[in-house]
């Protein structure tokens, strides 16, 4: 049995979110929460929020034991990008891409 949580259109670049997701994949949920709490990364708050949601889904919807949960799968997909323009010299412009992420966390109970 597994429980999942998905956060879509999160204003964090996928590359930065993947660094955190790679750290928590396969860990117990308590270890993952402690790790996300103290890592000084911009993406740690949204990733922690999705993990807490997956834990709540497991407890409330599937009656799983919180002490036996671990992060079975976690991945980040790229969402749409907001296109912005930055003025440059001599009337030119550069494009700025403000990227978004879709964060998915799946937790399972250890046997």
How far CA 12 is from CA of 1, 6, 19, 84, 110, in Å, comes to 30, 14, 12, 16, 31
Helical spans, DSSP H, in 5-103: 14-24, 29-38, 44-62
Taking 50 as the pLDDT cut, the residues of the chain under it are none
Single pTM value for the model: 0.92
Residue ranges and CATH numbers for the domains of the chain are: 2-109 (3.90.470.10)
- Residue 111: its pLDDT value, please? 84
Tokens standing for 98?
């403000």
pLDDT at 34: 96
Q: How far is Cα of residue 17 from the mean position of the Cα atoms in its chain?
A: 6
Model pLDDT, residue 37 = 94
């Amino acid at each position: 049995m597994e429980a999942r949580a998905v956060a879509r259109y999160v204003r964090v670049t996928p590359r930065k979110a993947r660094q955190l997701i790679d750290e928590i994949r396969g860990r117990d949920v308590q270890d993952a929460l402690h790790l996300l709490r103290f890592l000084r990364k911009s993406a740690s708050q949204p990733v922690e929020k999705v993990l807490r949601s997956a834990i709540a889904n497991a407890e409330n919807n599937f009656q799983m034991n919180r002490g036996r949960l671990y992060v079975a799968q976690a991945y980040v997909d790229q969402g749409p990008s907001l296109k912005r323009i930055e003025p440059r010299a001599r009337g030119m412009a550069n494009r700025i891409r403000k990227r978004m992420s879709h964060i998915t966390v799946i937790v399972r109970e250890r046997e």
